[in-house]
Amino acid sequence: MKLDIHNALKQTFGFDQFREGQEQTITQLLAGHSSLAIFPTGSGKSLCYQFAALHLPHLTLVVSPLLALMKDQLAFLASKGISAASIDSTLTPSENQQVMARVRAGDLKILMVSVERFKNERFREFIGSVPISMLVVDEAHCISEWGHNFRPDYLKLPAYCDDLNIPLVLLLTATATKAVKRDMAHKFAIVEQNIVQTGFYRPNLDLAVVPVTTADKNVALLEYASSIQGAGIVYVTLQHSAEKVADFLCQNNLNAAAYHAGFDNQKRQQIQEQFMAGGIQIVVATIAFGMGIDKSDIRFVVHYDLPKSIENYSQEIGRAGRDGLPSRCITLANLDGLNTVENFVYGDTPELASINFVLDNIRSEQQDGNWELLLVSLSNASNVRQLPLKTLLVQLELLGVVRPKYAYFADINYKFIKSRDQILARFDGERRSFIDAIFKHTHMKKVWGQPDFDALYSNYSCDRGRVIRALEYLQETQCIELESKRMTEVFAVNSDALADVNLAQTLYRYFIEKEQKEIKRIAALIRFFELDVCLSHNLSRYFDDQQAPQQCGHCSVCRGQVATLSYSQQLDWPSDESLRQALSTLQSHLTDKLAAPLSELSEELFCRFLAGLSVPIFARHKVRQLGGFAVCENFRYADIRSKVQSLM
């Protein structure tokens, strides 16, 4: 019998009709066509996979970038009686086992995970054993290197999809330029007619850019926050700013709270829940807050500091007015924070010596064509932050230098919940012999034991995967408790490609180009804020929506208020003598502590010291405690570099 999707929508979700784009996307998916859906924030992207999942035969696997986003969507699905769960870091071992048992039994329609979960050897063994109807990638712009939130691990999703034989894919995002849209579709072979893009324009959002000095920001913020009834979000760049601004609002009798990644999970969860329930009116937050916050009645979003890009700006203002009622989006703008936004970009570019260190590590540590990576250890040794190191590894994959084979936990331990004899009594024949072999080839230390995989391979001819699956099963059946640590990634190495004398320069050039692209993205944001033509129209056009009106009538430019941004005051450099002393202090502190090829302090290391940018070497050797650290943090990085060059 043919599915009546409108009747199903009413019965399951209680909605009388689909929103724009939803019906087309769902119809395509149910016809077996992978799709890309680009809808504005708050326009119902999630319903597309939720509805389709109910009418597909097997599990729908959803990759989501944030825990908060997963939890909100799971709560919604539970309210509709839809069986869904997540596997994430907050689950206890027994809860994790329960979710996996429900998946295996076919009791769940939707399972949500982070992309990092695929690195987990145990998860990959598990998910490979169950049939999957559809892969959903939420915030799918993370797949694209052209996007603003590129995450290297997302590049591996097409390969995971192939490995798991998933026949159907749905990509979801709110922010995609034309280049990002093409890139996403290409990676999953989604044809153009299955790209569903609704209008980006939001007629209920009033966009305003208000030039204001840093000294006057608090007064301006208080004026806006006091005059607008309802909930609001104030975005800042730094964690300490969130706390200072929230304290200021509270001192002026507004119900505000700070939110940032420096708080523990419990505190962040508590603040979010209070905000959602109306117990807190205003959240002053870094960008750690917002993704997955589905609160319909946010009446204002204020950018106290500059956002990172036009894409970030559009995502953040998109959290206002999801109920369709008028809402205000105000940017308190000057150029004072430009250095902070730019310096984050420069801090993520590895030095050429660091890239060479990674390549030398691959050459010297590989065995039988395989190279094993412990990310944190290599990040510290090479002085490359973990995220850019992941990006470096992805580039090595794309250049054919390394190929990921599998990941495993270097340390796998278990302890008995039931006795050996009780466990063995559950099995017969070869399976009993196999379980017994695992127990016999385990090095027990008091309570916990570590299986000897090499001995098992030699004496029982079984591979690591079968042992892991057996231990997983024993944990699921409450026979043992399993513990795994020290994620290790194994790569096959192409020695010929690794021997390319230009390889390090090629990689370094990639990062420099990426750095400049991000700096240009920030410059585009400043140009957008200083436009003398409609902000709403140009924001829509940036995201390839040509249907927005030429003049919206509800932005600051349409009201005749064209912004010109400037610095609040002229900054004075510290004296050359004090800067030389600071650099000399750094040199003395790090002398003899750094291994080749990082043994000589570079110009970039001096710049990062003065700019206050944290890199692994600084954390390991307590450089932040030195006098002179961050003494130039209010200056732009390019200017700091020029200053350092003049001093050397």
pLDDT of residue 465: 78
pLDDT of residue 480: 92
Continuous H helices in 543-602: 576-590
Query: What pTM value is reported for the model?
Result: 0.78
DSSP 81-132: T--EEE--TTS-HHHHHHHHHHHHTT--SEEEE-GGGGG-HHHHHHHTTS-E
Count of all residues that appear for the chain in the document: 648
End-to-end alpha-carbon separation of the chain, Å? 79
Could you give the strand order of the β-sheet that contains 327-333, starting from the edge strand earlier in sequence? 205-211, 327-333, 298-303, 231-235, 282-285, 256-259
The CB-side HSE value for 230 (13 A sphere, CA atoms) comes to: 15
Q: Which stretch of DSSP H or E encloses residue 432?
A: helix 429-440
Which residues, at least 6 apart from 425, have a Cβ–Cβ distance to it below 8 Å? none
pLDDT of residue 245: 97
pLDDT of residue 524: 93
Q: What's at 222, amino acid-wise?
A: L
Please count the other Cβ atoms lying within 10 Å of the Cβ belonging to residue 471.
22
pLDDT of residue 130: 94
**Residue 574 is encoded by which pair of tokens?**
């510290």
Instruction: Using the structure block, give the residue that is written with the tokens 């230098």.
Output: 401
pLDDT of residue 68: 65
Q: Tens of pLDDT along 99-147?
A: 999 999 999 999 999 888 887 767 888 999 999 999 999 989 888 766 6
Residue ranges for the chain with pLDDT beneath 50: 1
Q: What angle do CA 339, 343, 346 make, to 5 degrees?
A: 145
Which of 357, 483, 372 has its CA nearest to residue 417?
Answer: 483
SS3 391: helix
- Helices and strands (H and E) in the chain: how many: 27, 18
pLDDT of residue 103: 94
Which residues, at least 6 apart from 115, have a Cβ–Cβ distance to it below 8 Å? 63, 65, 142, 151, 153, 154, 156, 157
CA torsion 573-576-580-581 (nearest 10°) is: -80
Q: Using the 8-state DSSP alphabet, how is residue 555 labeled?
A: B
195 pairs with which residues across the strands?
36
Question: For residues 56 and 54, what is the distance between their CA atoms, to the nearest angstrom?
Answer: 6
Where b means 16+ CB within 10 Å and e means fewer, 436-459 reads ebbbebbeeeeeebebbbeebeee
Helix then strand then coil, in percent of the chain rounded to 5, is 45, 15, 35
What are the angstrom distances between the C-alpha of 615 and each of 81, 401, 641? 47, 26, 17
Question: For residues 232 and 217, what is the distance between their CA atoms, to the nearest angstrom?
Answer: 16
Alpha carbon 388 to chain centroid, angstroms: 13
**Residue 75 is encoded by which pair of tokens?**
């709560």
Instruction: Give just the sign of the alpha carbon dihedral 427, 430, 435, 436.
Output: positive
282 pairs with which residues across the strands?
232, 256
SS3 262: coil
Question: For residues 320 and 305, what is the distance between their CA atoms, to the nearest angstrom?
Answer: 17
Which of 122, 105, 123 has its CA nearest to residue 114?
Answer: 123
What are the angstrom distances between the C-alpha of 317 and each of 208, 285, 372, 552? 11, 13, 43, 16
Instruction: Give just the sign of the alpha carbon dihedral 367, 371, 377, 382.
Output: positive
Question: For residues 603 and 636, what is the distance between their CA atoms, to the nearest angstrom?
Answer: 16
Where b means 16+ CB within 10 Å and e means fewer, 223-249 reads ebbeebebbbbbbbbebebbbebbebb
The alpha-carbon radius of gyration of the chain (Å, integer) is 27
Question: For residues 251 and 575, what is the distance between their CA atoms, to the nearest angstrom?
Answer: 38
Which residues, at least 6 apart from 296, have a Cβ–Cβ distance to it below 8 Å? 42, 322, 323
Q: What's at 8, amino acid-wise?
A: A
CB 163 within 8 A of CB 8: no
